[in-house]
């Protein structure tokens, strides 16, 4: 299963490298895309959930790294939820 990373930029300018055990993240995020915080978290949860399910189908267990990444994204996003107009940018995919 091809894993990948994607680099994002939070509203404060901090960049973060995120992990996905599957290329499915490309179906939910676009390079150069700018997403409202809640929309971004939802897209990531969906994509990483699908990725974890793919790992389950192939190996017989969920991907704990995908689940942890979704939790980390959600936790970081919480810092920006009260900022009006806060957006997350997707900078690049790294395969």
The 3-state DSSP class for residue 88 equals strand
DSSP 3-state of 27: helix
Reported pTM? 0.93
Q: Per-residue pLDDT tens for 26-82?
A: 999 999 999 999 999 999 999 999 999 999 999 999 999 999 999 999 999 999 999
CA-CA distance, 78 to 34, in Å (whole number)? 17
Please tell me the distance from the alpha carbon of residue 66 to that of residue 53, in angstroms, as a whole number: 10
Instruction: State how beta strands 87-94 and 15-20 pair.
Output: unpaired
Domain map (residue ranges) of the chain? 4-94
Q: How far is residue 77's CA from residue 16's CA, in Å, rounded to a whole number?
A: 12
Q: Using 50, 70 and 90 to split pLDDT, how confident is the model at 95?
A: confident
The DSSP bridge partners found for residue 62 are: none
Q: What is the pLDDT of residue 1?
A: 66
Type and span of the H or E element at 94? strand 87-94
68, 11 in Cβ contact below 8 A? no
């Amino acid at each position: 299963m091809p894993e990948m990373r994607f680099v994002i930029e939070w509203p404060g300018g901090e960049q973060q490298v995120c992990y996905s055990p599957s290329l499915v993240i490309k179906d939910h995020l676009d390079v150069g895309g700018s997403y409202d915080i809640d929309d971004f978290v939802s897209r990531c949860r969906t994509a990483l959930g699908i990725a974890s399910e793919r790992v389950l189908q192939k190996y017989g267990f969920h991907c704990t790294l995908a689940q942890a990444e979704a939790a980390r994204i959600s936790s970081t996003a919480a810092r920006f939820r009260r900022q009006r107009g806060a957006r997350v940018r997707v900078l690049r995919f790294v395969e």
